[in-house]
Amino acid sequence: MLGVCYYPEHWPEDWWADDATAMRAAGITYVRIAEFAWSRIEPEPGRFDWAWLDRAIGVLGGAGLRVVMCTPTATPPKWLIDREPSILPTDENGRTRGFGSRRHTGFSSEAWIRESRRITEAVAGRYGDNQAVAGWQIDNEFGCHDTVLSYGPEDLRAFQAWLGRRYGSIGRLNEAWGTVFWSAELRSFAEVSLPVGAVTETAPAARMDFRRFSSDQVRAYCRMQADILRAHSPGRFVTHNFMGRFTGFDHHAVGEELDFATWDSYPLGFTDQFPFGDAERAPFIETGHPDMAAFHHDLYRGIGRGRFWIMEQQPGPVNWADWNPVPKPGMVRLWTWEAFAHGAEVVSYFRWRQCPFAQEQMHAGLHRPNRSVSAGGKEALQVAAELRSAGTLPASTQAPVALVFDYEAAWMLDIQPQGKDFNYIEMCFRWYEMARRLGQDVDIVASGASLAGYRTVLAPTLPHLSEAGLAALSATEATVLIGPRTGSRSVDFSIPDGLPPGPLRSMLPMQVVDVGSLRPGLSHPVTGKFAGRAIRWREWIETDADVTARFHDGSPAVVEGGRYVYLACWPDAALLEAALRHVLPAGGLGLTELPAGVRLRHRGELCFAFNYGPEPWTLPDHLVRTLVMGHPVVEPQDFACWRVAV
Amino acid sequence: MLGVCYYPEHWPEDWWADDATAMRAAGITYVRIAEFAWSRIEPEPGRFDWAWLDRAIGVLGGAGLRVVMCTPTATPPKWLIDREPSILPTDENGRTRGFGSRRHTGFSSEAWIRESRRITEAVAGRYGDNQAVAGWQIDNEFGCHDTVLSYGPEDLRAFQAWLGRRYGSIGRLNEAWGTVFWSAELRSFAEVSLPVGAVTETAPAARMDFRRFSSDQVRAYCRMQADILRAHSPGRFVTHNFMGRFTGFDHHAVGEELDFATWDSYPLGFTDQFPFGDAERAPFIETGHPDMAAFHHDLYRGIGRGRFWIMEQQPGPVNWADWNPVPKPGMVRLWTWEAFAHGAEVVSYFRWRQCPFAQEQMHAGLHRPNRSVSAGGKEALQVAAELRSAGTLPASTQAPVALVFDYEAAWMLDIQPQGKDFNYIEMCFRWYEMARRLGQDVDIVASGASLAGYRTVLAPTLPHLSEAGLAALSATEATVLIGPRTGSRSVDFSIPDGLPPGPLRSMLPMQVVDVGSLRPGLSHPVTGKFAGRAIRWREWIETDADVTARFHDGSPAVVEGGRYVYLACWPDAALLEAALRHVLPAGGLGLTELPAGVRLRHRGELCFAFNYGPEPWTLPDHLVRTLVMGHPVVEPQDFACWRVAV
Amino acid sequence: MLGVCYYPEHWPEDWWADDATAMRAAGITYVRIAEFAWSRIEPEPGRFDWAWLDRAIGVLGGAGLRVVMCTPTATPPKWLIDREPSILPTDENGRTRGFGSRRHTGFSSEAWIRESRRITEAVAGRYGDNQAVAGWQIDNEFGCHDTVLSYGPEDLRAFQAWLGRRYGSIGRLNEAWGTVFWSAELRSFAEVSLPVGAVTETAPAARMDFRRFSSDQVRAYCRMQADILRAHSPGRFVTHNFMGRFTGFDHHAVGEELDFATWDSYPLGFTDQFPFGDAERAPFIETGHPDMAAFHHDLYRGIGRGRFWIMEQQPGPVNWADWNPVPKPGMVRLWTWEAFAHGAEVVSYFRWRQCPFAQEQMHAGLHRPNRSVSAGGKEALQVAAELRSAGTLPASTQAPVALVFDYEAAWMLDIQPQGKDFNYIEMCFRWYEMARRLGQDVDIVASGASLAGYRTVLAPTLPHLSEAGLAALSATEATVLIGPRTGSRSVDFSIPDGLPPGPLRSMLPMQVVDVGSLRPGLSHPVTGKFAGRAIRWREWIETDADVTARFHDGSPAVVEGGRYVYLACWPDAALLEAALRHVLPAGGLGLTELPAGVRLRHRGELCFAFNYGPEPWTLPDHLVRTLVMGHPVVEPQDFACWRVAV
Ligand SMILES: [Zn+2]
Ligand SMILES: [Zn+2]
Ligand SMILES: [Zn+2]
């Protein structure tokens, strides 16, 4: 189903009815509203103006649209900030981050939590049982603009309290943080300071706890709103729209507070920002990288425990990347269908109409500011028609490949990269990309979640391997490819007693005795079962297990123990491909040879092929017979869909 | 005529008479003094020491020099700052910018305005009717070191008051800024905050108003001083020395307060700082780019309403660029003559003698610290001799080509580049450069100024096309080449109702329906009447007008309507050249084929050729007969001048 | 002899005895302890816990180890900072640099000086006459993490007082700083502000004085501790462990407070950070650049007036560079022997065992966290064995080549580079490197130190040539190669009256009349006795002396006067090599042709060859006969040593 983001407050009231009618005519089911409307809802302290919003919901609901109602907490109004300046967050230099844009709020501000409760109660009370309201979006894009971490006095007090709960005694904290190291031993929790602004780096365990604390604050804030909404609005779903490429808080944890996940898909913006090399990005500047949206679909399907929407789908150029190209013709349709192929229940475009004023005036919509239909709008209409003929799509089923993704891993490697280019999300993306280039469907799952039923499991790295994470890896019957640094840290960010890979040594009898980061230009060749080169990171291993590939100096590069395969480096593309060409078939999976820009994805008995590349791709003959959508020759920016035996 | 900048306070008093005599002997007419002399003029609060300055002016005037007297407001002394610390400006991080260099003053500080009045009254009162004083320079290089914008409490109060005057009611401001967008609606002007320091970007219209306000504050400050000077010093000119490459305030507006404009010409420093590519800069590192000084001459001639001086001419290496080369032999002479060719009335060198101490000790002068004549000094002597034989130069006449330059455009594109490399002044420079490579003289005129009498008008971009700007474009009989983004914004920084090019649609019936910024490496080919490639920026247009070139996908790249030609992209060099090879002849202009480093310029019946390139350039035979200066073969770093029929 | 850094407080007490025994068995003589142990020594204000440290010293001393005891002032504990927050330093933006790492102290804080005295008295009182204590290390790595300069109110007061002592009257300061230049004249020392945070650059002489003042504060702080230690601990040495690549304070001056110098040698970290080009760094990423450690050995041997130790020797990968590779096999041994070859008395590894927790957990030790011996540890054992068979090494003798190194030069060129890539330490390193590539031993000596006995002296640049510096240059009988900018500044940072090279004109009758910095890509060819190109910097000279090489335009590039050779540019590698191939033989020295990665070094009658390169190097036949260590073919990462006639 399709949805759209709409801002009645941005348009003359006499446009609303036409807009609502046009939405329905365009095949749109859901309309999201009001996430930035606080100053209209409560124009003065305590004086609520519901009338306009009542009418807007009335018009939309009356047209048969189902409303996704939002809490407006991403943008508290100026009068509130002036009354309660402690709401404002503090940056890492100790400066207050001011009013004038959005997310000017700290998750540990008591005034902010109190005011958030108040406005959530008000909105939920007003619309909780409104028939047009299908469900709720809490706030908007937690963490956007680096807003998870705040460094003010209330943040410190909340952190001290959190540490008190975590450690019980200051002695236990001193031990966990290793404060003896630089004479940083503390006598009480009140002596704790924020791990920022010091002369050089602060203790990694302290920084890690600050990340955990900050993530917990996001979750608590989300739960606070969810509880209110569920109390006032029974039978409606509660969700949040996550962003792409964010690792600032544990999305798996926040996802547990929601009925399903939604995310905001901007393939061109993310492709502009991702650390691709220039040559690699070039062919995909105007299409998005072929794994960019897909990676997030598979990630958020996991975070939503199988259920997700696209709450904001890029419908044309955006305004916030360094460069903002126009998508190539067909891409808006392709992205939409790709989301469905990956299991999205709803794709909701951001936004119905480009706003001619304010910060996002260069962000396209389905309509232009002059009410004409945009290029993306026309593609959305085509999708709507195609959806009608396609009928109900089959349910998504578990993929054969799992990639283990862990937000704590992202924080640990951010705190301690040890080599400047050791970037966690890039690493996971590379592994994901290679699996998909070989034709695989991939589930991205949390560390600790069950790995039952998978044929091959990819664990690019899990520096702290939790007990649950270890248990899942132990229990799976899949072939498991494990990357470097796995098991290299305790929960307290220290090196495990028996050296890395720590608890993994129960499956792989080995010790990592040395590690080195490799500057760009430096690489170490690997030969054996897999060949290629180590870049960025390499380990030295002592082991009695099978060594199936070695570095040029004879030291183990790949260690195997039963179905566990350990790769002792950041692999270049050749080595990564060689590794996957081994572990996927070892799990019983067939590989498909695809051009660089083509990707496959199954949804139930349907298989889709999406062509991001510059050349047409011809379907193998045997697939043509079951073609459901598209043509035997899949043109650039087009897709095909056929039925397969399940 | 020649001038020089002199600092009697830097030298022993017994050198002054020799210096003055030597200036006269060197053919110098004007001597600028005292712009940094406050601490000598008023060494203690309220105690003025005029004696030394009386004697200095006496010596200089006595030698027959005409004094350009300055107000010393670029450097208030420490005792004043200690008494009135609110004078200090505030940076965008909220930090006070301290004492110890220059321009440590905020244009909205009431204490500063009061003290500026006081010192200006004092200096003007003392020297207003001094016979040696020919005129006045107000302050020094407004805006230098990023000093137009200040973010302190007084700046906020003045901004609120300015907004009150501009909008009358807060409702009108809310509408203009689009505050409804992110719940930023304000209830009173007192709720306005400075558009800085927010979590992410603030409203573009708010930022635009802050730029306008800040520019107005510069103008008001300049007018305050001009009024005092005119009251005390009848019959003397009042001017200001502008800098190169500055767009922080509206120079056209400030220019209206002056009798003529002057500017400070540092071709090598500016060439080091300009965003040239390395290969492009390389041949001109030691000569300056051949359009660098010329562009500014033509700009400031417009700002001075036909009249301008060089107040500071680079005489050798400077101290402030990242790299500071020695000019090639001949360049100081060439730059001086080039200024005259572009209509300068006076070229004044900075400075008479290199100062052996303090911040600018690495800045060359006409003399070295040991009183010997520098290489640049020798070239200045040669210029003086040449000027004597040349006699009075003819008056400058209107050029056949106008380039429309708009400071508001610079602010809008700075606030909303949409592609990281969309740089306004670079764009204008590129268009100017190409016209001059094809042999044209160019006037750089303000948007809204009359375009009567021009044959070809170049408008690289005018995002907000004002009524006056539109009227001038409508009224001209010239062929007009208009660049992308023109007419794309209302005065309130919003997209016009009928889509871009907004009011330009009266001349060009078209709509820009999509725009995309193109990352380096991405370009779109253009074919048709003009061929080349779009880089950095491209538009998608729907039109019934003539389309004379198209992008590879068939979408219009060039739209023509009568004498108006719209170019829907940032052109690469080939496309820009092709466009100018069309619109210049279309305006009736002949093109001259010149090597990359040679430029022509007419002044009355004289035509000059300046050779910045590495190869000699041979004059066409028919010009040799009327040669006035130079030789038929123009050597590198040399020029020739001949007489043409007018 | 060998040493090691040990932290009993990091390990269970029941490991201590085994560790001590293992140290002795590993051939270790010295053990450094307690430099970060304040919070264990004084866990509460005024309550000292000596027991554990008494026992630790007892165990170590009992095993026959000699203890290097440290003052723990690099890491004052949290309770002290909470009581005396004025201890914290202030950064250049005026922000307090907080607790949580190390060196969170300002050298001008009165509270800090008082507390430092107190803890130093306490530790020295307790252990001053302990039989196990061989000597003292004061603090740890002065200046690490940019901690020489601090910008708080106490820094200002101390600076004002220092200026009062330096200048006596404010008039003299105004003259020295040239405050008349931008109206910055001061009426009293109380009006002085810190030369930071101004709108643009502050007076270079003011900044220079702030550097001198700050350096003096480091020295005074060091002397304060040294006096206490000497009073309490007669017969023990007092030293400090300097870092590599630091020029923030005058190490020669601080060295005068010490019995000898020690430094912390991290060849891979420094090679990662040094401004090498990528291609140049590539072959040495895993070995260190072949001159990196050597340059510092020769520098610190000078600072220690002939005596130095390595207090911290890299034993494997470190944690603090952008990339941290594993040293190639053999390098730990090679670095250790290279230190001895350069005259080190002791090489002390950092650290005995890698710490599994806190900030440096990725820093290797001689042992892994699990108590196994690391690769570096095995090499250290090999060195110990080799040392035993080698017996006492001969004394180091004066090298035939001196390179003059001046910390004031580093500050001057940092304050006024005039070309962005004019980096003092890089320049000196380049000259040093070329001399060593030609087979020379080099002493790095302070400007003003005696140059008697040298054959060739290299003075890359000495902007301010002090009287003592001039006298040493005058007195030497060596051939002297002098680089550009020498003598270009007075002690007050002004251009000398007779132009540069100022006082050097007594030896070289010449004047530098123009100087230019050359952007990357711009170079000026030099031909004559030496050929090559000027890069980065070039001078124009007028002279009656011999000109033995000229720039392409005929201007002198090399001026000779007797044994003084002046090079008027930053030479590229070819020109530098040509210059050294002249001045070394001119001083009577023979050159040795070596591969790019091989270096020689004499210690008494021993000569060593170290092979950092990728190819084996074969000793000339005649040397093989006197081989003492190693083989006639010196493999990569290996060395040889032979006996020579002295
Ligand atoms: Zn969004
Ligand atoms: Zn100037
Ligand atoms: Zn250290």
Tell whether A355 is covered by a domain.
yes
Q: Does the structure show a pLDDT above 90 at A459?
A: yes
Token pair, residue C537, equals 């910097």
pLDDT in tens, A2-33: 999 999 999 999 999 999 999 999 999 999 99
Q: Which ligand approaches the C-alpha of residue A363 most closely?
A: 1
Distance CA A462, CA A332 (A): 35
Give the DSSP H/E element, type plus range, for residue A532. Answer: strand A532-543
Position A89 confidence tier, pLDDT thresholds 50, 70, 90:
very high
pLDDT value of residue A425: 98
DSSP line for A400-426: SEEEEE-HHHHHHHHH--SBTT--HHH
Token pair, residue C228, equals 């206490």
Q: Do residues B477 and B563 lie in contact, with contact meaning Cβ atoms separated by under 8 Å?
A: yes
Percent of chain B scored above 90 by pLDDT?
A: 99
Residues C139, C288 within the same domain = yes
* C-alpha distance from C270 to closest chain A C-alpha (Å): 14
Residues C261, C141 within the same domain = yes
Token pair, residue A583, equals 């572990």
pLDDT value of residue B177: 98
Distance CA A52, CA A9 (A): 8
Q: Do residues A163 and A155 lie in contact, with contact meaning Cβ atoms separated by under 8 Å?
A: no
pLDDT in tens, C118-176: 999 999 999 999 999 999 999 999 999 999 999 999 999 999 999 999 999 999 999 99
A359 SS3 class = coil
The residue-averaged pLDDT of B551-560 equals: 98
Residue in A181, A199, A418 nearest the CB of C355: A181
Tell whether A489 is covered by a domain.
yes
pLDDT in tens, A465-494: 999 999 999 999 999 999 999 999 999 999
Residues 155-214 of A with CB under 8 A from B: none
The residue-averaged pLDDT of C51-57 equals: 98
From the number of C-beta atoms within 10 Å of its C-beta (0-12, 13-18, 19+), residue B458 rates as buried
Residues 6+ apart with CB under 8 A from C566: C482, C486, C501, C504, C508, C510, C541, C558, C559, C560
Tell whether C49 is covered by a domain.
yes
Position C389 confidence tier, pLDDT thresholds 50, 70, 90:
very high
Question: Helix B153-167 crosses helix B204-232 at what angle (to 10 degrees)?
Answer: 100
- Tell me whether residues A518 and C323 touch, CB distance under 8 A: yes
List the catalytic residue out of B42, B141, B338, B539: B141
Residues B238, B314 within the same domain = yes
Residues B26, B132 within the same domain = yes
Distance CA A543, CA C26 (A): 26
pLDDT value of residue B646: 64
Q: Does the structure show a pLDDT above 90 at C335?
A: yes
Q: Other CB atoms closer than 10 Å to residue B584's CB: what's the count?
A: 24
* C-alpha distance from A568 to closest chain C C-alpha (Å): 14
Closest among B355, B134, B90, B323 to B237, alpha carbons compared: B134
Residues A384, A463 within the same domain = no
The Å distance, Cα C328 to ligand 3 centre, comes to: 21
Tell whether C591 is covered by a domain.
no
Residue in A184, A518, A540 nearest the CB of C100: A184
Virtual torsion, Cα B266, B272, B273, B275, nearest 10 deg: 130
- CA distances to B435, B531, B577, C277 from B581, rounded to whole Å, are 9, 11, 6, 44
Tell whether B123 is covered by a domain.
yes
The residue-averaged pLDDT of C279-301 equals: 98
pLDDT in tens, B631-643: 999 999 999 999 9
Q: Is the peptide bond before A89 cis (omega within 30 degrees of 0)?
A: no
Residues B427, B365 within the same domain = no
From the number of C-beta atoms within 10 Å of its C-beta (0-12, 13-18, 19+), residue C339 rates as buried
pLDDT value of residue B622: 86
Q: What is the CATH number of the domain that holds C457?
A: 3.40.50.880
Distance CA A9, CA A82 (A): 23
Q: Give me the interface pTM, i.e. the ipTM.
A: 0.97
Tell whether C212 is covered by a domain.
no
Burial pattern B269-302, b for ≥16 Cβ within 10 A else e, equals bbbbebebeeeebebbbbbbbbbbbbbbbbbbbb
Distance of CA A478 to the CA centre of its chain: 25
Across chain A, how many H-helices and E-strands are there?
Answer: 19, 26
> Is C338 in the active site?
no
pLDDT in tens, A126-147: 999 999 999 999 999 999 999 9
Token pair, residue A22, equals 């046009």
Q: In the listed set B363, B390, B417, which residue is the last one of a domain according to the structure?
A: B390
Q: In the listed set C356, C390, C424, which residue is the last one of a domain according to the structure?
A: C390
pLDDT in tens, A157-191: 999 999 999 999 999 999 999 999 999 999 999 99
Residues 6+ apart with CB under 8 A from A445: A302, A402, A403, A404, A405, A451
Residues of A in contact with B485 (CB under 8 A): none
Q: Do residues A425 and A638 lie in contact, with contact meaning Cβ atoms separated by under 8 Å?
A: no
Q: Does the structure show a pLDDT above 90 at A229?
A: yes
Token pair, residue C548, equals 């033995």
Residues 6+ apart with CB under 8 A from B531: B525, B549, B574, B575, B578
Distance CA B96, CA A546 (A): 65
Residues C460, C332 within the same domain = no
pLDDT value of residue A624: 86
Neighbouring chains of C at 3+ CB pairs under 8 Å are: A, B
Residues 6+ apart with CB under 8 A from B94: A95, B151, B197
Residues B453, B568 within the same domain = yes
pLDDT value of residue B257: 98
Give the DSSP H/E element, type plus range, for residue A51. Answer: helix A51-62
Q: In the listed set B340, B365, B390, which residue is the last one of a domain according to the structure?
A: B390
Looking at the DSSP bridge assignments, the partners of residue C33 are C69
Q: Does the structure show a pLDDT above 70 at C48?
A: yes
The residue-averaged pLDDT of B220-237 equals: 98
Owning domain of residue C610: 598-643
Distance CA C619, CA B442 (A): 72
pLDDT value of residue A481: 98
The residue-averaged pLDDT of A331-355 equals: 98
Distance CA A319, CA B415 (A): 12
User: Considering chain C, what is the average pLDDT of its residues?
Assistant: 97
Percent of chain A scored above 90 by pLDDT?
A: 99
Percent of chain C scored above 70 by pLDDT?
A: 100
Distance CA A562, CA A559 (A): 10
pLDDT value of residue A300: 98
> Is C141 in the active site?
yes
Residues A315, A429 within the same domain = no
pLDDT in tens, B609-620: 999 999 999 998
- Tell me whether residues C514 and B78 touch, CB distance under 8 A: no
* C-alpha distance from C492 to closest chain B C-alpha (Å): 8
Q: Report, in this order, helix, strand and coil percent for chain B, each rounded to 5.
A: 35, 20, 45
Residues C287, C430 within the same domain = no
Q: Other CB atoms closer than 10 Å to residue C531's CB: what's the count?
A: 13
The Å distance, Cα C351 to ligand 3 centre, comes to: 9
Tell whether B591 is covered by a domain.
no
Residues B382, B454 within the same domain = no
Residues 548-567 of A with CB under 8 A from C: 553
B607 SS3 class = strand
- Tokens 């996550």 identify what position? A242
* C-alpha distance from C46 to closest chain A C-alpha (Å): 14
pLDDT value of residue A645: 78
Q: Does the structure show a pLDDT above 80 at C394?
A: yes
pLDDT value of residue B232: 98
pLDDT in tens, B275-327: 999 999 999 999 999 999 999 999 999 999 999 999 999 999 999 999 999 99
Q: Other CB atoms closer than 10 Å to residue A2's CB: what's the count?
A: 23
pLDDT value of residue C54: 98
How many domains, in total, are found in chain C?
Answer: 4
Q: Do residues A268 and A314 lie in contact, with contact meaning Cβ atoms separated by under 8 Å?
A: yes
pLDDT value of residue A331: 98
Question: ∠ at Cα A85 (A81, A87), nearest 5°?
Answer: 80
Distance CA A519, CA A564 (A): 29
Q: Does the structure show a pLDDT above 70 at B32?
A: yes
Residues C116, C222 within the same domain = yes
Residue A73 contacts B, CB cutoff 8 Å: no
Residues 295-334 of B with CB under 8 A from C: 316-317, 319, 322-326, 329
Q: How many residues does chain C have?
A: 646
Closest among B378, B392, B372, B386 to B349, alpha carbons compared: B378
Tell whether B593 is covered by a domain.
no
The residue-averaged pLDDT of B8-37 equals: 98
Q: What is the CATH number of the domain that holds A308?
A: 3.20.20.80
Token pair, residue C487, equals 């003598």
User: Considering chain B, what is the average pLDDT of its residues?
Assistant: 97
Q: Do residues C447 and C472 lie in contact, with contact meaning Cβ atoms separated by under 8 Å?
A: yes
Q: Does the structure show a pLDDT above 70 at B375?
A: yes
A288 SS3 class = coil
Residues 6+ apart with CB under 8 A from C535: C518, C520, C522, C523, C569, C570, C571, C572
Q: Does the structure show a pLDDT above 90 at C204?
A: yes
Residue in C75, C285, C317 nearest the CB of A522: C285
Q: Does the structure show a pLDDT above 70 at A262?
A: yes
Percent of chain A scored above 70 by pLDDT?
A: 100
Question: Is beta strand B639-643 parallel, antiparallel or unpaired with respect to B627-629?
Answer: antiparallel
Helices (H), B91-135: 110-127
Across chain C, how many H-helices and E-strands are there?
Answer: 19, 26
pLDDT value of residue C646: 64
Position A646 confidence tier, pLDDT thresholds 50, 70, 90:
low
- CA distances to A342, A435, A641, A642 from A606, rounded to whole Å, are 11, 19, 7, 6
User: Considering chain A, what is the average pLDDT of its residues?
Assistant: 97
Q: Does the structure show a pLDDT above 90 at B623?
A: no
